Amino acid sequence: MKADDEGTARRSGAPARTRFPGISSRAYEHPADRAALVALRKLRGLDTFVRKFRGAFLERALRMEALGEAVRTSDRQFRTVHRTMREASRVLDLDRTPELFVRLDRDVNAATVGVDRPFVVLSSGMLELMDAEELRFVIGHELGHAMSGHLVYGTIARFLAEAGRVLASVPMGGLGLQAVRLALGEWMRMSELSCDRAGLLVVQDREPCLRALMKLAGGAHLGEMDAGEFLRQAAEYRRGEDLRDSVVKFLIEQPRSHPLAVARVAELDHWASGDGYRSVLAGDYALRRDDAGASVRGELRTTGASCAERVRRSTDPLLVMLRDLAVSADRAGDHVLNAVRRGPGAT
């Protein structure tokens, strides 16, 4: 943390927070999100095209709309949340602090808008629901979207998916297109888990982060909620009772742009308890200067290992069944291989 930031923290009574000079978004991205982003960043030229195309008109129009009907924060307007945006940007070592707007909207919303010079819009409902540290988490989450370029690469991914409509004219091609759309939806949900991690890095205290996510489920009645009980609820949701629950969960989750609240709380709590988070806090993290050299193959291996770990610790009936089948098949394969090695007549 820089000396001037430390002085500001002491004067305000806020805790001194670790800064992450040169941190790459790869440091906090969920493995499934990171692998997709690394692959899309290799499509050089498409990101430049998207930035120029959106920036030429759409991004200008969205910013003008925000200027016209929302309140831009400053040292004289929504001063507290404005200062939080500056502090969060310093923690993540952003070159530029994004503009922050507050819009009258009873719904609880936050959005990162724009690709060339992204800005953040918070609804008045979000400000009314969250306390100062919970808002810090929300702002850190939105900065995570900006750092990862989710809007840029999400636009590219959707373009590639729509370009794949030609598959629909090929026999069974419609199934391939549906698979692409399901994969795209899953990626976007994983990107939200990534940004929850970015929010935790900004706050550096898991409790306000979990509170913010719990409020998205139960509203302002935090005194009526308990983090431990909510995590047990999340475990029950993940576990289910039988295969019917697995199917129902799939049908519930697939149309959504965000993971369910219980899943977000459980995933963030798991990451906050692990070595990945502790390593970043200790200064051992990926750097932006190395992003161009990131390997797609390496990220896919990491993603595969992460998926295997998720399946290993899952209690979902369908995943448990598939895991047991895989173990049984592996044992059967070993038995056959050993029989072949022993030769004819062996028992």
Q: How far apart are CA 270 and CA 198, in angstroms?
A: 14
Residue of higher predicted confidence among 240 and 147: 147
Confidence at residue 168, expressed as pLDDT on a 0 to 100 scale: 52
pLDDT tens track for 60-87: 888 999 999 999 999 999 999 999 999 9
pLDDT tens track for 171-228: 544 555 556 566 677 878 889 999 999 999 999 999 999 999 999 999 999 999 999 9
Average of pLDDT values for 49-61?
Answer: 71
Average of pLDDT values for 248-277?
Answer: 91
Q: How far apart are CA 221 and CA 265, in angstroms?
A: 17
Across the chain, mean pLDDT equals 80
